[in-house]
């Protein structure tokens, strides 16, 4: 067996970012930018009002006071999306609205709630300074500014910025296509009739969800029975994907044929069996492809929790690397044990825990039974506590937790 770290190193050294593609801006959220973005213009392209109010010349308010307001003629109107019909003259004010270009001759804006209109005249009760409530030209960006760097994961704000600079389409790293295969004579897909000794095919659905969480595109390869030819045939369907993963059939039982099927496809095996629990029987292989990157193949354990944990530790980082992400790992925290946590196995344990606020940090507690077949232990989990083999952690002691649930 090899360590988790060695296994991950072997995997990440054999996957690389995919090529780029151009997509509609509305489809680019959470995608990795494949080009630098420079602003083609100043933004705003002119001095603009930041309030609904009146554009004026600050010099015309030099003597204004509460008891002796400046009196200006309201001589025009500038709505958003339009220009003033003429320059502003001394002694005048133009009604103006948020975002509208400042008229030529004006240097400031006073909010509408600070003034009164009386018989076509504007009464300004205080002195106004140049630039008040005016967004200067180029305040947000100037022409030629590098506004987004290649390699950035696009957020909602980034998409707004791309729209601001006029980009209807953008170049991003392609999302990996992931073939998902479940194996086992006992599996029945949803909607099928569950007979004696059979169970629903839950692994495919949890793995599809994990693939989507990793910003990749799942492709169903269906269910293969415990027959070498069936497994090989369905794996062959996935050769057009960027990554293929199977669940079950990777251990050493007489019905475990996944490794043999991969060998028939010409796969080179890089690891099998990792020093961890749950999830020891995991295999990673690659198949050379003419003219493009090798196809990555993961054979995951069949137990539901083992499949999900090994996906988190190994498949998710590989998918993020392929999609161009720089941050490949889930965040980790140091929590305090709220109850005894024991790993009696010699292998490193990834134990499912809940996390609750505890002083200035978080407290961790096991979700219950830690059997790799108990999916509810994963349902309740906020994270995976990383516990060395043959280790007992007492209440109050620190432990490392990989955070799974967003929003904590």
The predicted-structure confidence for 252-270, as pLDDT tens digits, reads as follows 656 678 989 999 999 999 9
Task: Give me the mean pLDDT over the 182-210 stretch.
Answer: 91
Query: Could you tell me if 287 and 235 are in contact, meaning their C-beta atoms sit under 8 angstroms apart?
Result: no
- Whether residue 251 has pLDDT greater than 70: no
Q: What is the pLDDT of residue 254?
A: 60
According to DSSP, residue 65 is labeled: B
Q: What is the pLDDT of residue 292?
A: 83
- Whether residue 201 has pLDDT greater than 80: yes
The predicted-structure confidence for 325-337, as pLDDT tens digits, reads as follows 999 999 999 999 9
Query: Could you tell me if 313 and 4 are in contact, meaning their C-beta atoms sit under 8 angstroms apart?
Result: yes
Confirm whether pTM is higher than 0.85: yes
| Tally of CA atoms within 13 A in the half-sphere of 337 that contains its CB | 19
Q: Which residue has better confidence, 136 or 189?
A: 136
Task: Give me the mean pLDDT over the 193-197 stretch.
Answer: 88
Q: How far apart are CA 349 and CA 327, in angstroms?
A: 24
User: What does pLDDT average to over the chain?
Assistant: 95
Q: How far apart are CA 307 and CA 314, in angstroms?
A: 11
Query: Could you tell me if 31 and 20 are in contact, meaning their C-beta atoms sit under 8 angstroms apart?
Result: no
The predicted-structure confidence for 134-169, as pLDDT tens digits, reads as follows 999 999 999 999 999 999 999 999 999 999 999 999
Encoded tokens for 295: 């196809």
The predicted-structure confidence for 63-94, as pLDDT tens digits, reads as follows 999 899 999 999 999 999 999 999 999 999 99
**In 3-state terms, what secondary structure has residue 363?**
strand
Task: Give me the mean pLDDT over the 366-381 stretch.
Answer: 93
Q: What is the pLDDT of residue 191?
A: 83
Residue 133 — pLDDT band, cuts 50, 70, 90?
very high
Encoded tokens for 324: 């161009």
Task: Give me the mean pLDDT over the 354-368 stretch.
Answer: 96
Q: What is the pLDDT of residue 212?
A: 97
Q: What is the pLDDT of residue 248?
A: 86
Q: Which candidate, 58, 60, 54, 97, places its Cα nearest to that of 74?
A: 54
Q: What is the pLDDT of residue 128?
A: 98
Give the chain's largest Cα–Cα span.
Answer: 98
Residue 393 — pLDDT band, cuts 50, 70, 90?
very high
- Whether residue 105 has pLDDT greater than 90: yes
Q: How far apart are CA 294 and CA 285, in angstroms?
A: 10
Query: Structural domains in the chain?
Result: 4-19+174-322 (3.40.980.10), 21-43+140-173 (3.90.105.10), 48-132 (2.170.190.11), 332-403 (2.40.340.10)
Query: Could you tell me if 192 and 154 are in contact, meaning their C-beta atoms sit under 8 angstroms apart?
Result: no
Q: How do the residues of the chain divide into helix, strand and coil, expressed in percent and rounded to 5? A: 20, 35, 45
Encoded tokens for 236: 């062959």
Q: How far apart are CA 141 and CA 146, in angstroms?
A: 9
Q: How far apart are CA 99 and CA 80, in angstroms?
A: 6
Encoded tokens for 217: 């595109």
Q: What is the pLDDT of residue 408?
A: 63
Other Cβ atoms within 10 Å of 387 Cβ, number: 23
Tell me what percent of the residues of the chain surpass a pLDDT of 70: 98
Q: What is the pLDDT of residue 291?
A: 80
Q: Which candidate, 326, 397, 323, places its Cα nearest to that of 364?
A: 397
Other Cβ atoms within 10 Å of 325 Cβ, number: 18
Helix (H) or strand (E) segment spanning residue 212: helix 202-213
Q: What is the pLDDT of residue 223?
A: 95
- Whether residue 51 has pLDDT greater than 80: yes
Q: What is the pLDDT of residue 252?
A: 60
Q: How far apart are CA 231 and CA 48, in angstroms?
A: 65
Sign of the Cα pseudo-torsion (157, 159, 163, 164, in order):
positive
Q: What is the pLDDT of residue 253?
A: 58
């Amino acid at each position: 067996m090899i360590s988790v770290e060695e296994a991950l190193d072997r995997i990440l050294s054999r996957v690389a970012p995919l090529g780029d593609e151009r997509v509609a801006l509305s489809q680019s959220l959470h995608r990795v930018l494949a080009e630098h973005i420079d602003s083609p213009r100043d933004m705003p392209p002119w001095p603009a009002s930041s309030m609904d109010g009146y554009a004026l010349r600050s010099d015309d308010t030099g003597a204004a006071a509460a008891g002796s307001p400046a009196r200006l003629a309201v001589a025009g109107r500038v709505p958003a999306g339009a220009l003033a019909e003429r320059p502003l003259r001394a002694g005048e004010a133009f009604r103006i609205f948020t975002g509208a270009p400042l008229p030529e001759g004006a240097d400031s804006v006073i909010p509408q709630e600070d003034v009164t209109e009386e018989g076509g005249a504007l009464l300004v009760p205080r002195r106004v300074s140049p630039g008040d409530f005016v967004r200067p030209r180029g305040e947000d960006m100037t022409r030629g500014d590098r506004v987004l760097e290649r390699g950035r994961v696009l957020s909602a704000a980034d998409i707004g910025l791309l729209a601001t600079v006029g980009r209807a389409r953008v170049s991003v790293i392609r999302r990996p296509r992931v073939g998902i295969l479940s194996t086992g004579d006992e599996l029945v897909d949803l909607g099928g009739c569950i007979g004696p000794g059979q169970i629903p095919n839950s692994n495919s659905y949890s793995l599809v969800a994990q693939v989507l969480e990793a910003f990749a595109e799942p492709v169903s390869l269906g269910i293969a029975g415990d027959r070498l030819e069936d497994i090989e045939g369905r794996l062959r369907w996935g050769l057009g994907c960027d990554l293929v993963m199977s669940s079950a059939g990777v251990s050493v039982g007489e019905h475990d044929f996944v490794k043999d099927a991969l060998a028939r496809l010409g796969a080179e095996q890089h690891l099998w069996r990792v020093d961890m629990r749950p999830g020891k029987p995991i295999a990673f292989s690659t198949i050379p492809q003419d003219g493009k990157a090798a196809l990555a193949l993961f054979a995951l354990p069949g137990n539901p929790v083992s499949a999900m944990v090994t996906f988190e530790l190994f498949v998710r980082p590989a998918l993020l690397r392929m999609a161009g992400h720089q941050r490949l790992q889930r965040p980790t925290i140091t929590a305090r044990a709220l109850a005894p946590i024991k790993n009696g196995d010699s292998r490193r344990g990834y134990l499912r825990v809940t996390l609750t606020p505890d002083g200035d940090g978080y407290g961790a507690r096991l979700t219950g039974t830690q059997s790799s077949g108990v999916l509810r232990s994963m349902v309740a989990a906020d994270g995976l506590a990383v516990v060395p083999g043959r280790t007992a952690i007492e209440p109050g002691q620190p432990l490392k937790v990989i955070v799974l649930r967003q929003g904590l």
